[in-house]
Amino acid sequence: MSERNKLLLMLGVFLGAYYLPIENSRVQGALVEAFTMLKDYAREHVLLCLVPAFFIAGAISVFVRQDAVMRYLGAGANKVVAYGVASVSGTILAVCSCTVLPLFSGIYRRGAGLGPATAFLYSGPAINVLAIILTARVLGLELGIARAVGAVLFSIVIGVAMGWIFRNEESQRLADMPETELEEPKRRPWQDITYYASMVAFLVFANWGNPQTTEGVFAMIFGIKWWLAGISLAIVLWTSFNWFDGEERNDWKDSTWFFAKQVFPLLIGGVLVAGFLTGRAGTDAGIIPDSWIKGLVGGNSLQSNLIASVAGAFMYFATLTEVPILQGLIGSGMGKGPALALLLAGPALSLPSMIVIRQVMGTVKMLTYVSLVIVMSTAMGMIYGFWF
């Protein structure tokens, strides 16, 4: 940063502090809400969501062979296989828009094509089986089906669009990546599968949400989630110390720390800003009143669907929280079209995730990705609202 920019930054901070209307009750509430949201995020999503995701990303970066990534997700990979694998990943990973970021960064930096990588980025938090089932139970079967179909379709279309728009840059990026000589695998395929599956299983079971029912397989899993998570963690530890040597474990640790120090500070800042602007979802304590949002997303106009998509894109939704929030908004007059638009844009995006995506892909690619999500969510909301 140049000395001139440092001076401008210092001047901006000074003027912001000098004219900050701290005596205004709305501002006071928004500031409290920002730190309350940060506290909730730290308690609910860091230890069991974000930290395991960092370790998985670190393992992908170190242990996944680049030729394997290129074979299944690279630019020259079979498109059906690449987008098929990426688009259904959310059925396995019950993660939020922030937890998926280190996983996305890991496969993208490892050589995955931009198209399949962004398909994975969208599908990770969007195609959550438990959230879709909860949507169908609470908000209606047709909305649950529309969410599932729309999320799978979106992940493929967005991935294909991103890959095509930036095809020249992607070709150059992949060409500039250092070529690696094929080495004899140190472990058998079933060992690698067991190792990665146990880490993913811990992430899934440790964050398994309450299905709000006492019957069914999801309720049964919720009742024994900590047993399943503990078994998964035990397998991770056993495989780490029996199938990997000390140097490999150190490389894994260093790679995990790289992702943590890159992503975590940005998420903290993003959560604070999101909390100040909109407050926690379902509250009316942000600087932007909920009544403004509710008054703008009734009916099924282009404006109401667009506003729902944009509001959803910037708000932070923890996994499964979007369903009860929308239940309240629909009860307050939100149209069905805007409800679907928010469901398709909200869980997959948030202001904190945008900040990190920009760090990984660059500003232009981030803005293109966000624009595709918002535009497609708006269009799908209008179509759904027209039919229902």
**Residue 282, phi-psi category: left (phi > 0), alpha (psi -120 to 50), beta (remainder):** left
Run of H or E residues at 279:
none
At residue 175, the pLDDT reads 72
**Residue 279, phi-psi category: left (phi > 0), alpha (psi -120 to 50), beta (remainder):** left
Question: Helix or strand or coil: residue 103?
Answer: helix
Name the residue among 100, 39, 38 with its Cα closest to residue 273.
38
pLDDT in tens, 310-347: 988 888 776 566 776 777 677 667 888 999 999 899 88
Name the residue among 126, 76, 75, 72 with its Cα closest to residue 96.
126
d(CA 85, CA 78): 11
Residue 158 — very low, low, confident or very high, per pLDDT cuts 50/70/90? very high
Question: Helix or strand or coil: residue 228?
Answer: helix
pLDDT in tens, 235-270: 999 999 999 989 989 999 998 898 788 778 877 887
d(CA 307, CA 374): 9
Q: How far is CA 342 from CA 129, 207, 321, in A?
A: 17, 23, 12
C-beta of residue 322 within 8 angstroms of C-beta of residue 342: yes
C-beta of residue 314 within 8 angstroms of C-beta of residue 70: no
Lowest-pLDDT range, 93-97, 233-237, 384-388? Answer: 93-97
φ, ψ at 300 (rounded to 5°): -140, 35
C-beta of residue 342 within 8 angstroms of C-beta of residue 374: no
C-beta of residue 76 within 8 angstroms of C-beta of residue 70: yes
d(CA 339, CA 353): 21
At residue 236, the pLDDT reads 94
d(CA 209, CA 233): 18
The ranges assigned to domains in the chain are: 26-387
pLDDT in tens, 30-70: 888 889 888 887 887 788 877 887 888 788 777 876 566 66
Among 222-236, 246-260, 348-362, the range with the most confident prediction by mean pLDDT is: 222-236
Q: Which two tokens stand for residue 292?
A: 């403004």
